[in-house]
Amino acid sequence: MRGISRHLNCILACKLGVLHFLFSGYEILAKDKKIEHWTYIKPIKAKVPENSRWGYNEIDFFIIDKMKSVGLSPQQEAPREEWLRRASFDITGLPPSLNEIDLFLKDDSEEAYNKAVKRLLSSSKYGERMAAWWLDGARYGDSHGYDNDLENSQWPWRNWVIESFNSNKPFDVFTVEQLAGDLLPNPSNDQMIATGFNRNHRIQTEGGAIDEEWRTEYVIDRVETMGTVWMGLTLSCARCHDHKYDPITQREFYQLFAFFNNLDEKGFINNLRGSAEPRIRYKKKEFDLKVSQIKKDYPEKSDQDQQISKIEPFYPHVMVMREMPKKRKAFILDGGQYDAIGEEVLPGLPSSLSSVFDESLMNRMTLAKWLVDGEHPLTSRVIVNRIWALFFGTGIISSTENLGVRTSPPSHPKLLDWLAVDFAENGWNIKRLVEQIITSSAYRQKHAVDAERLKIDPDNRLISRGPRLRLESEMIRDQALFVSGLLVDKIGGPSYWVYQPVGLWRDIEKRGKFEQDHGDKLYRRSLYSRIRRTVPNPSMAIFDMPSREVCSVIRSKSNTPLQALSLLNSVTHVEAAKKFAERMLLIEGELKDKIRWGFRSVTSRLPDDTELELLLKGYQRRLDYYKTNSDQSNALLGVGESKVSSLLNPDELASMTTVANVLLNLDEVINK
């Protein structure tokens, strides 16, 4: 029931926003009935406000300027451990190791923060963290969705995303390859796979479905997803009629539709597993080499087939975009209905966002390049705003999914434009943008809040303190695996079935029986947990991970009793507590040293005496119980598939597991 206070916070923030809106030159001008809204005008790099005594980079000068205007001053700088923990999660999705904390604390040079950020950005875990973010908008899942919801094999596309972030592929290239990689001259296998972005949508496999109805649906999904991810516009409104608020006509919607309409695909495929055409094989050259080697090594055909079937799961077919030589005609669909065909349209760009092109020359490449040509008023704002939201919880425009006319006013419009232009001017360099944000004084403030800040800036839209945000679902599980030593440090590859409650598939059992994976496969980062879109893993869904059925670029941060139950009782978290307790007991020194080590592992700081005392007492109390109930100790230590050292006393280990259970549930630990 936190709804009401949230609304109120919004109201206040909005009122402040509206005030700013009125005085900042951002206004809606009515000219000859044509609406001109600032989001349709190319951003210009605003003058950075007068240098203030506070601040590290340009971001801060905009932030302090605004803060001063409402009578707030910046919060103190965060303790170094607090900043490092936040930065580590934000950049890599994992907490810092104790060694990393020590090294950072020892380095009192001016450059310590920059060095730490550079180290984090060069970790391959950065690509995994950013991929988890990108996959929401790309509605990536490991199954086809809808009725049968059988498995697909799109994971090589996910590999491409991870590698692209790690190699810091400029965002304009990243965009062009995903939207039109197949139209590049002599596209590489990777560039083809990149276009899987537009094939990640669900596919209807229910008997009786009408082929053209669903093929139309996929094309519409592509338009809507591109609209949300790159343009920050709700293009879907124009599916049935001219957009009510934004200057997008229904005709223009179907002109965008025409860009994505031209591949040889089916709308309905009965009981589809794997990839639907058009598709290509992942790492085809490597696969072909291995196959020819197998054919040399095994003379018998049956042995050959057996060997090939062993390697095939690692070289699956991936669904991609490929143009048909003869263009499929596109039409305005009356009311958005597939069979209500109206006037024919050619591919074209919305007139409010582009100057006129020669329509006959247009294809997806034109579209992709137009999005990132530096002239498009929305793309750079949209992406900068989303990355801001990733680190501060809320975008400079809070509706990260909609920057159209009906958007809520930005908290710092000039900063948004400055960042947008700066980003595009500097090669669409995402790592650079992340570094600017994470090293800023704004981000370096401590996240503690006082009554005054809470009153004037309840949702921290003005950044009057450091961000304090609940960890995302993947981070919560990954942290538990990391501190318990279970996490398997390996990048990329197929997805795996991790623990889920028994009987979860009961209502869909006709569609397949759940077979959990084992061993190392159980302890990969959550990015690699298999997603069956219609039956999400509850422990992920409970922490607000979207089902990936449709594009989603905003995750809520709910706070519910089901989260408590998941963290207290799920196999994943109890097993992690058990293994974490084992590590604690293996630390040399007295009991309090062991607990201190554990506390610091999850919070990045040392406990004070009260905290330590409370945990010590709890350990002793529960140890007394387990000593006289050893069967209970063994029962607890039997949770999860991993084994614990037989050299440790089970009663001590069980009691320490309860301490670890407390630690992994601390509010401080599931926030950053």
Q: Of 533-562, which residues contact another protein (CB under 8 A)?
A: 534-536, 538-539, 541-542, 544, 547, 549-550, 552, 556, 558-562
Task: State which residue, 414 or 555, has the beta carbon closest to another protein.
Answer: 555
Q: Which amino acid is at 29?
A: L
DSSP notation for 268-331 = B-TT--S-PSSEEETTHHHHHHHHHHHHHH--SHHHHHHHHHHHGGGS-EEE---B-SSPPPEE
In the complex, minimum distance from the CB of residue 356 to another protein, in angstroms, rounded to a whole number? 27
* Residue 181: CB minimum distance to another protein, A: 27
CB 13 to another protein: min, Å: 9
Beta-ladder partners of 281: 317
- Altogether, the residues listed in the chain come to a count of 672
Interface characters, 587-616, with another protein (x: CB under 8 A): -----------------------xx--xx-
Residue 365 binds to another protein (criterion: CB under 8 A): no
Asked if 538 and 504 count as a contact pair (C-beta separation under 8 A), the reply is yes
Candidate ranges 120-128, 258-266, 320-328, 625-633; the one touching another protein (CB under 8 A): 625-633
> From residue 458 to residue 487, what is the string marking binding to another protein with x (rule CB under 8 A)?
x---------x-x-----------------
Q: Which of 169, 431, 622, 672 binds another protein (CB under 8 A)?
A: 622
Q: What residue has token string 């999860």?
A: 640
Binding status of residue 637 toward another protein by CB under 8 A? yes
Which of 43, 87, 27 has its CA nearest to residue 419? 43
Please name the residues in contact with 486: beta carbons below 8 A apart, sequence gap of 6 or more: 523, 575, 576, 579, 642
Comparing CB distances to another protein, the nearer of 189 and 572 is 572
Q: Which of 427, 569, 590, 641 binds another protein (CB under 8 A)?
A: 569
Residue number with CB closer to another protein (316 or 458): 458
SS3 64: helix
d(CA 256, CA 522): 42
Q: Which of 73/560 has CB closer to another protein?
A: 560
Which structure tokens are listed for 568? 């207290």
Cβ contacts of residue 290 below 8 Å, gap of 6+? Answer: 311, 315
636 makes contact with another protein (CB under 8 A): yes
What contacts 620, CB < 8 A, 6 or more positions away? 655
Q: Report 58-87 residues binding another protein (CB under 8 A).
A: none
Site for another protein contains 648 (CB under 8 A): no
| Nearer of residues 5 and 292 to another protein, judged by Cβ | 5
Only one of the segments 173-181, 289-297, 435-443, 531-539 lies at the binding site for another protein (rule: CB under 8 A); that segment is 531-539
Nearest CB to another protein, comparing residues 649 and 665? 665
Six token digits for residue 655: 């009691």
Q: What are the φ/ψ torsions at residue 317 (nearest 5 degrees)? A: -80, 145
SS (H, E, C) 477-492: HHHHHHHCCCCCCCCC
Q: Cα–Cα distance between 313 and 22 in angstroms, integer?
A: 58
Task: Work out how close the CB of 35 gets to another protein at its nearest, in angstroms, rounded to a whole number.
Answer: 13
- Residues numbered 217-276 forming contacts with another protein, rule: CB under 8 A: 234, 237, 244-245, 268
State which of residues 77, 303, 339, 344 lies at the interface with another protein (CB under 8 A): 339
Residue 37: closest CA among 247, 244, 303: 247
Q: Which residue of 200, 255, 411, 566 would you call a contact of another protein, by CB under 8 A?
A: 566
For residue 627, give the nearest of 644, 650, 595, 660 by alpha carbon.
Answer: 650
Q: Does the protein bind another protein through residue 658 (CB under 8 A)? A: yes
210 contributes a contact to another protein by CB under 8 A: yes
By CB under 8 A, tell whether 306 contacts another protein: no
Helix (H, G, I), strand (E, B) or coil at 319: strand
Query: Smallest gap, in angstroms, from Cβ of residue 208 to another protein?
Result: 4
**Residue 623 region by backbone torsions, left for phi larger than 0, else alpha for psi between -120 and 50, else beta:** alpha
Q: Does the footprint of another protein cover residue 529 (CB under 8 A)?
A: no
Q: Residue 167 CB, nearest distance to another protein (Å)?
A: 33
Question: 612 to each of 267, 345, 375, 608, 672, how far by Cα in Å?
Answer: 61, 70, 57, 6, 21
What DSSP string runs through 612-653?
A: HHHHHHHHHHHHHHHHH-HHHHHHHHTSSS----TTS-HHHH
| Residue pair 652/585 in contact by the 8 Å Cβ criterion | yes
Pick between residue 312 and residue 668 the one whose CB is nearest to another protein: 668
Q: For residue 457, give the nearest of 471, 473, 444, 468 by alpha carbon.
A: 468
User: Closest approach of Cβ 85 to another protein, in Å?
Assistant: 14
Binding mask 4-43 for another protein (x = CB under 8 A): xxxxxxxxx-x-----------------------------
Sign of CA dihedral 641, 645, 646, 652: negative
Q: Which of 141, 147, 145 is nearest to 510 (CA)?
A: 147
**Contact range with another protein by CB under 8 A, out of 119-127, 205-213, 303-311, 385-393:** 205-213
Considering only residues 81, 190, 211, 242, which one is a binding residue for another protein as defined by CB under 8 A?
Answer: 211
Please report, as residue ranges, which positions from 384 to 423 form the binding site for another protein (by CB under 8 A): 399, 401-402, 404-408
Considering only 58-66, 122-130, 344-352, 500-508, which stretch makes contact with another protein by CB under 8 A? 500-508
Stretch that binds another protein, among 101-109, 209-217, 344-352, 584-592 (CB under 8 A): 209-217
**Per rule CB under 8 A, count of chain residues that contact another protein:** 108
For residue 498 the two structure tokens come to: 């991790």
d(CA 125, CA 644): 27
Residue 349 Cβ vs another protein, minimum distance, rounded to whole Å: 21
Read out DSSP for 520-547?
GGGGS-GGGB---TTS--HHHHTTT---
Among 118, 329, 490, 621, binds another protein (CB under 8 A): 621
d(CA 208, CA 448): 57
For β-strands 34-36 and 279-281, DSSP reports them as unpaired
Under the binding rule (CB under 8 A), the answer on residue 620 touching another protein is no
110 binds another protein (CB under 8 A): no
Residue 135 binds to another protein (criterion: CB under 8 A): no
Among 209, 308, 365, 648, binds another protein (CB under 8 A): 209
How far from 537 is each of 3, 159, 228, 321, 579, CA to CA, in Å? 25, 22, 26, 30, 22
Q: Closer to another protein at the Cβ: 304 or 552?
A: 552
